[in-house]
Amino acid sequence: MENHIIKIFNDATEASEFAASLIATSSKEAINQHDRFDFVLTGGSSPVKLYKLLTEEPSKSKIDWKKTHVYHGDERFVPYESDLSNTRMADEILLNHLDIPSQNVHKIDTSLENVEAAAADYEKVIKEETGNNVLPVLDLILLGVGDDGHTASLFPGTQVVHEKDKLVSTSYNAEQETERVTLTAPIINEAKLIAPMVFGKKKAETIKEILEGEFNPDVYPAQLLRQAKGTVYWILDKESASLLS
């Protein structure tokens, strides 16, 4: 796992400041290389501080938002108005405060007839947007990790953990009783940069297993990141990293 870099910070604020600078650097490199920055957002509570930082100076001006294309790593199959919508959260905290062209924001369409249709539609969107019909290389994917070891909506014991062909698929979260649309391991692991952000004491055991435990992605799906081709920056606070050897 030489391509995995573990960064440990005092708290989520310091970690989020590092993440903001990582995004700025990654965006500059991507725009220099291919005149656009393909950036995947994560849901949940972990990125909230980061998203607020990105709407403020100095971070806001360090990224060319007009050349940034934004995607979502996963979404619950709920209406946009729902409090469970990752898309709505990202709009309200981040995207509505940036000068980013609306056609550059690629949302998972949860108004379609079912979750399978939404997943198929989103795969098509990603391929069309990146001009790559096989396996697009996205520039930066932000991720969270749950207490149960899931990342994106790749949950323990679900079929999607073994997906080899689709770039976007479906899963089900029994705890929340929600159907999900999610990026799969093949497209996540193809990215140039992957940045999981993990905070809090209750995730310490999980992080230890993901980074140091025996490989068993059916139990800890985030272990699939061990197969990443690009660089993986684990952005942790002291508490989540407290059990690492």
CA atoms of 122 and 104, how far apart (whole Å): 14
pLDDT value for 134: 82
Residue-wise pLDDT tens digits, 136-192 = 999 999 999 999 999 999 999 999 999 999 999 999 998 889 999 999 999 999 999
Structure tokens at 141: 């994917």
Domains for the chain: give ranges and CATH numbers.
Answer: 4-237 (3.40.50.1360)
Position 7, amino acid: K
Helices (H), 67-203: 86-93, 115-130, 185-188
Q: What is the pTM of this model?
A: 0.97
Of all residues in the chain, the percent with pLDDT exceeding 90 is: 95
pLDDT value for 176: 85
**Backbone torsions φ then ψ of 241, nearest 5 degrees:** -95, 0
Half-sphere exposure of 141 (CA within 13 A, CB side): 29
CB 191 within 8 A of CB 230: yes
pLDDT band for 1, please (50, 70, 90 cuts): confident
Structure tokens at 222: 């985030």
CA atoms of 170 and 92, how far apart (whole Å): 25
Residue-wise pLDDT tens digits, 180-200 = 999 999 999 999 999 999 999
**Locus of tokens 């001006």:** 61
